[in-house]
Amino acid sequence: MRIASPAAPAVACATFAMALVGCSRGPVIETRLVFDGQTRTISTDKVTCTDYNNGTLLILVDGGKSEVVRIVVRQAGHILADRVGFRHHELSGFVADPREVDATKVDNTYRFSGRMPPNPGEVASHHFEIETTCPAGADAPPPMPLWPRRG
């Protein structure tokens, strides 16, 4: 008869967790951000593009810590960027006016440029450009039912 060590389950869980962490989400994507002439790059394998049933696409570039880009896009005969926001260390900006953003798409590469209003405490608006690629679109999960089905 073999007696298992009390640490065995913890070791097994740690090994499994390390295997999960070692897996990447997708290809490493270079997202280029130009803000008032300053060019920055976010290199990450955590770029998700979620396509919702209402024609809205959410692009999320997660570079970790303080490197993030979030863009809400919809198609109305042409591409419109409803909201564009980013943070790259000390730089940040947000615009929620599609009239201020030019948006284009070629294959799975999106380009956005335009004007962002001044941040609190600033007086001048900012010019920005963002270019990123969607590795693959993913449909949004279906809504959860309000009550369980009975069969």
Each residue of 57-71: pLDDT tens digit? 999 999 998 999 999
Going by C-beta distance under 8 Å and a sequence separation of 6 or more, which residues neighbour residue 128?
33, 34, 35, 36, 84, 86, 93, 112, 113, 114, 115, 116
The model scores a pTM over 0.85 = no
Q: Over the stretch 84-115, which tens digit does the pLDDT of each residue have?
A: 999 999 999 999 999 999 999 998 899 999 99
Closest by Cα among 138, 133, 88, 87 to 108: 133
- CATH for 26-139 is 2.40.128
Pairing outcome for strands 91-95 and 126-133: unpaired
Task: Kindly state the tokens that stand for 72.
Answer: 């809400």
Taking residues 66-79, report their average pLDDT: 91
Nearest to 48 by CA among 72, 32, 65, 66: 72
